Structure 1
Amino acid sequence: MPEPTQLSKTENFSDLTTLELAQALAQRLAIAPNDWHRLKSNRKSRAGEQAAAALVFLLKDQPEEAIARFNMATGWLDKSISAPPCPTHGHRSN
């Protein structure tokens, strides 16, 4: 995941680079660990998280990573991908 940029509420958006704005958006849309179980299958949340990350990679001139994240965002929206089961629940090793 791209490194987030912290923004103070007093900063003016025009003072920020496009990359900093994208990083702030990615940080805002990232699913927090304490929300993971609640949002892991939420298609809008997952697609937004991936699309914002893709934008950061695009602006960092990393097109392969951007494409991968945009494809994942599309997969969430078109329902071609789903959240895998949680590895810590309901599975025992033999």
Structure 2
Amino acid sequence: MQSAKALRAMAATAMEIEVNDILDSVLPLEEVNLERIVIITPFGEAPPIPEEFDVIEESNLLLYLKVQEAEEDEEDDYVVVWAYRKW
């Protein structure tokens, strides 16, 4: 999936990621409904990365970041951002 558009939103910790910072790196804000953004920041060991996500950026510090756009046949567009804290 080629939905990333050169994501470069790195943060000191997963909890410091700002929605607007991520969106500015992914899609122009006018193309995204902010209410449909989901940020997942689990604490502890990162769960397995779902196969449908591409690894966009991997930091040796803390994070994996992935982005998925809605499928073309889905009625509502949305972007899902996964941020995993690395231990």
Q: What's the TM-score, normalizing by structure 1? A: 0.22
Q: Which has the higher contact order (CA 8 A, sep 6+)?
A: 2
Q: What's the TM-score, normalizing by structure 2? A: 0.23
Larger Rg: 1
Structure with the higher helix share, 1 or 2: 1
